[in-house]
Each structure stands twice: as C-alpha cells, then as structure tokens.
Amino acid sequence: MSLFKKLQSRFLNSYKDHRFLFQHGFQKSIEKKRSLNGRPSLLALHDYDDWAIDHVFNLWFGGDPGVRITRANWDQCATTRAFAPFDCVLFGYYDMLLRFGYAPERSMVVIHDPCEIFPQAEDWKNLAPLEGRLEKLKSLRAVIVISQEMEEILTGFGVRCFRIPTMSRLETRHSLLSQQDNAPSGEVMQSLSVYRNYPRKNAPLLEKLQKHGGAGGLWNLQLQTGGHLDTARYTAMLDRFPVYVCTSWQEGGPLPVMDALSRGALPVMTPVGQIPEFLTHGETVLFCNTESEFIESLDSLAKNPELLSSMRIKAHAAYIKAREPETIRKVIHTAFKNILT
C-alpha cells in the first residue's frame, strides 16, 4: 500500500471513530470519564439492524439495568479508538471480537451457538474446540452464553461464563389454545420448519421428512429457507402451523423453536439448546434423534388430534411460565452487574 493510501485510510478511520463518538453523545476527547452518574458504561456491538435485534435489546436492557448502554452496529466503528470512553465492550458474535482484537480485560462476547466454538458436526460434544478459541475466551472479562448446555461445557474448560436465557422474538400469544386450533379430524396435519442451510441444521433430514410426509398423506412438512420476513409475515406464518419441526445437531436457542412455542406450536425436535431445560418429552415436546423417531412422532400426532391439542396447550403454558420477560430481565441485569462491578 502506498504512503498516500495509508494516510488516507488512517484519516478516514479517525473520522469514522470521531463521528461515532459524537453521534453517541461523547466529546471527541477519548479521555472522557467512563462511568457516568456512578454507572458503568457498556458499548454493545451487533452486526445488523432489524426487529430481532430490537427485541434482544428491549429484553436484555429494558427497565433499569443499572448500566449505561450504548448500542451500535459494528461497522460504525473503524478502530478500537471508538471504544475508549466505555468501561466494557460487548461483542455480539465471536467473529466480531476477532475483527477488532480489543483489550481482553474490557471485552466480553455473546456465544449464541456451539458452532462458534466447536465444529459443525453431529458428534461435536466429543470433538476438540476450534483452534485458539478456548484460549481467547479464557482471556476475556466474561462470556455470555444462551443455553445451560454451553454454560456447563465452557465452564468445564475454565471459561468465565454467565448464562442469559433468551426467549421468542415475537409477541406471545396469550389466549388459551383450544381444539379448534388443530386441523379437523380427517384433514392433513400441517407442520413447519424455518431454517438456513447451515450444516448444523441437518437439511437432508428435513427434506427426507418432507418427502415422507407428502407420500404418506397424514401430515405435510413445509420448509421455509433463507430470506427475510418482517414481524407480521413471520407471525402470520407461524400461526398457521400447529407443529414445528427442528432437526439441528447443535443450537443455542434455537430461536425459531422459541418463536413457534410463543405462538402455540408443539415442537417435534432434537434435544438441543435451551428447550430441554423447560420442556418435558412426551408432555410438552417430542424429542427425536433419528428419521424413524421423527416419522413415528409426527404420525402419532396426525392420528390423534386430541393428543396434539393437549400437548400444545401444555407446551404453550410451560413456555410462558419459563420465559416471563421480567424474570429473564432480572437474571440479565444481575449478570451484567456482576460482570461490570
């Protein structure tokens, strides 16, 4: 790179960082006192702006978290100069942490899914973490995880973890479900799976199930892949399906299952992420590990609408009880208070 290009890049980065600080109420001087009104200051970086990110911030930092929060898209910052006024920086993903390489003692990161640390493989629990990842996590001020499973695994490796349970990104359907929500007897049961074509989502199994359901005539499985849905369209789509199918090998949430639960669907899924923490097999969820188990479970629900209705009501009630927003928010506020003080 020529000297001119280097100077130009340095100038543009400096301008970007100073503009970021000005936009968020900080003076250009990076020596500004970090703690304001006796409260620690936290910069939370994310990678895109949409309704799902809005939901996370409203859930995590609503009410009075006891922390001064500044939220920003990571590409608003050019260098770590923009981080100087803050006591700590929360990176939304592991790759974002690597992008900036900020001071470990003032950094924390959210690990959403095991694939950020482990290979995307069905037997990932028996495999070594990806090279260098554990050492990096151990050096940080804190690591935020979503599921109890990841908390236990990373704590076992000596990582300082704080677990924050999350919930659906949608408004919860609070009206009690009734049998009228299910397909009338004799009609084909409808099920849904929303996924992106990552290896961990196990798309080949979803496609096999879709083919089997169409041939059997008892149930259909609709697959929704990729693409962006706004809140209204996404909610309307979930509300049409009494059953939600998830075949993933590894998950943190999984958030689509949480979304479906909040709208009253019954999960038929692999036992991954947070779900085994508050749903019980045979009562509020059907856990499956093989193609034959998925087919058997979906067949049994399609043949017995009363069973489907009963399990949906129980699953919906269990979700509401376990994922009450104020309860989760108290856990989150306590975690950040412990991290920052």
Residue 281: DSSP 8-state: B
H/E stretch holding 70: strand 68-73
Q: DSSP secondary structure string, 13-62? A: HHHHHHHHHHHTT--S-TTS-S-BTTB-EEEEEES--SHHHHHHHHHHH-
- Distance in angstroms (rounded) separating the CA atoms of residues 41 and 38: 9
Q: pLDDT at position 140, please?
A: 97
Other CB atoms within 10 Å distance of the CB of residue 330: 12
Q: For residue 322, count CB atoms less than 10 angstroms from its CB and return exposed for 0-12, middle for 13-18, buried for 19 or more.
A: middle
- Distance in angstroms (rounded) separating the CA atoms of residues 206 and 196: 12
Q: pLDDT at position 335, please?
A: 92
- Distance in angstroms (rounded) separating the CA atoms of residues 212 and 151: 37
* Residue 165, preceding peptide bond in cis (omega within 30° of 0): no
Q: Do domains 28-167+324-340 and 179-322 have the same CATH topology?
A: yes
Whole-model pTM: value is 0.86
Other CB atoms within 10 Å distance of the CB of residue 128: 10
> Quick one: tokens of 114?
């095991």
Residues shown for the chain? 341
List, in sequence order, every residue forming a beta bridge with 192; answer none if it has no partner.
222, 244
CATH 3.40.50.2000 for domain 179-322: yes
51-71 b/e (C-beta count within 10 Å ≥ 16 → b): ebbebbeebbbeeebebbbbb
Q: pLDDT at position 69, please?
A: 87
Each domain of the chain, given as residue ranges in start order, spans 28-167+324-340, 179-322
What's 180-245 look like in SS3? HHCCCCCCCEEEEEEECCCHHHCHHHHHHHHHHHHHHCCEEEEEEECCCCCHHHHHHHHCCCCEEE
Task: Return the CATH number of 28-167+324-340, one of 1.10.760, 3.40.50, 3.40.30, 1.20.1250.
Answer: 3.40.50
List, in sequence order, every residue forming a beta bridge with 285; answer none if it has no partner.
281
User: Under a CB-based contact definition with an 8 Å cutoff, are residues 72 and 19 in contact?
Assistant: no
Q: For residue 224, count CB atoms less than 10 angstroms from its CB and return exposed for 0-12, middle for 13-18, buried for 19 or more.
A: middle
Per-residue pLDDT of the chain (341 residues; tens, 9 = 90+): 565 454 445 545 555 555 555 555 554 333 344 454 568 889 999 887 677 788 888 888 887 888 888 888 888 888 888 898 899 999 999 999 998 988 999 999 999 999 999 999 999 999 999 999 999 999 999 999 999 999 999 999 999 999 998 899 899 987 765 544 555 556 899 999 998 888 899 999 999 999 999 999 999 999 998 767 788 999 999 999 999 999 999 999 999 999 999 999 999 999 999 999 999 999 999 999 999 999 999 999 999 999 999 999 999 999 999 998 888 899 999 999 899 87
> Quick one: tokens of 196?
């992106």
Within 8 A by CB and 6+ apart from 287, the residues are 269, 270, 271, 276, 281
